[in-house]
A = this chain, B = another copy of it.
Amino acid sequence: MINLFYKKNKNIKLIDILNLLKLENNFKNSDFKINDIKDISSAKKNDITFFHSIKYKHILAKSKVSFCLTTKNLLKFIPKSCEPLIVENVLVSLSRITTLFYPNSTNDNFDNNVSILSESKKFKNIKFGNNVLFGKNIKIGKNCKFGHNSIIESNVLIGNNCSIGSNVIIRKSIIGNNVNILDGSIIGKKGFGFFPNDKKNLRYPHIGLVIIEDNVEIGCNNVIDRGSLSNTVIGMNTYLDNLVHIAHNVKIGKNCIIAGQVGFAGSTTIGNNVMIGGQSGISGHLKIGDNVKIGGGSGVINDITNNSRVMGYPAKEIRKFIKENK
């Protein structure tokens, strides 16, 4: 799927990576053509991946990936079938070679391939407002509506019976059936990922997508960033209220209810049937279980197990919160 949205450089050899990272060439197979760069859970044979945290050692152990960026300290976790490339800063190196594979992945300039939609021959039973801009190679199902001034950038896929509001911007996204995206929301922007540098920060590449499943509703003036190496996902029949912020790589399950002004930091996973009250914030890299209820205004900084009810900042078991605040 990713290749639809990002043009991949197909001729990256191991030697190109070694040269870029200024690594010594101790490899017999340095002319080997590497297929793609992926995170550990999706990388396959002939791909390159990265391993920077012991947290992922079990996934790496089962992987068939051929090459892996890592550090000296983590070397012992690399499986035999994988050739390690030892670097000082895994994520910075990752960023640089991702740009090698995907030269346009740090660039989010406006899509200048769009044109104003003025007839609907190509799409079935579509309704569209004034000044709607469509990029190239867009695929849209039946019975969709696009409000005034909306911008659907090139390669976006949209299912049947979707209603897109006015002033909406959608890029790098795959959208299911019966999805409503309300006015002013911005879907698929690059995430807020970079390596700080005193003179000019180094942008982290974003070659992921936003995947919005069937029956989802997205409120007004929301911002949903696309993934960096994986995708940002909004699960089936999940509803988001207004002014919600969803950072890169967040995965929200099915049947969730997310109230106004909630914010999710990057790479957090939310289970199914989760309810989150207004203005709550969920830190990055957390795992929130199924059927969890989070009271309004909470600040969640730890994982939450299935079926829990929490509230507070930091969020704690709700009865404890109520007792402490009597």
Contact = CB atoms under 8 A, between A and B. Distances in A.
A215 interface: yes
A220 interface: yes
Contact count band on A: 35 or more
A73 to B, nearest CB: 25
A279 B259 contact: no
Contacts of A279: 263, 279, 281, 299
A116 B129 CA distance: 11
Given A182-B189, A239-B194, A314-B325, A114 B199 contact: no
A183 B149 CA distance: 13
A109 interface: yes
B110 A147 contact: yes
B131 A114 contact: no
Interface string A121-135: 000000101110100
A143 to B, nearest CB: 11
Interface stretch (A17-25, A90-98, A242-250): A242-250
A278 interface: yes
A83 interface: no
B221 A223 contact: yes
- Interface of chain A, main secondary structure: loop
Contacts of A110: 129, 145-148, 163, 165-166
Interface in A274-316: 277-279, 281, 283, 296-297, 299, 301, 312-314
A178 B201 CA distance: 11
A225 interface: yes
A240 to B, nearest CB: 9
Contacts of A296: 265, 281, 283, 299, 301
Contact of A265 (B145, B184, B239, B260): B260
Q: Which 7 A-B pairs have the closest CB atoms?
A: A110-B147, A297-B299, A223-B242, A279-B281, A192-B241, A245-B260, A220-B223
Interface of A: 108-110, 112, 114, 116, 127, 129-131, 133, 145-149, 151, 163, 165-167, 169, 178, 180, 182-184, 186, 189, 192, 194, 196-201, 215, 217, 219-221, 223, 225, 237, 239, 241-243, 245, 247, 255, 257, 259-261, 263, 265, 277-279, 281, 283, 296-297, 299, 301, 312-314, 325
Given A109-B127, A169-B183, 8 more contacts: A110-B166, A114-B130, A116-B130, A186-B220, A192-B242, A241-B245, A260-B263, A312-B313
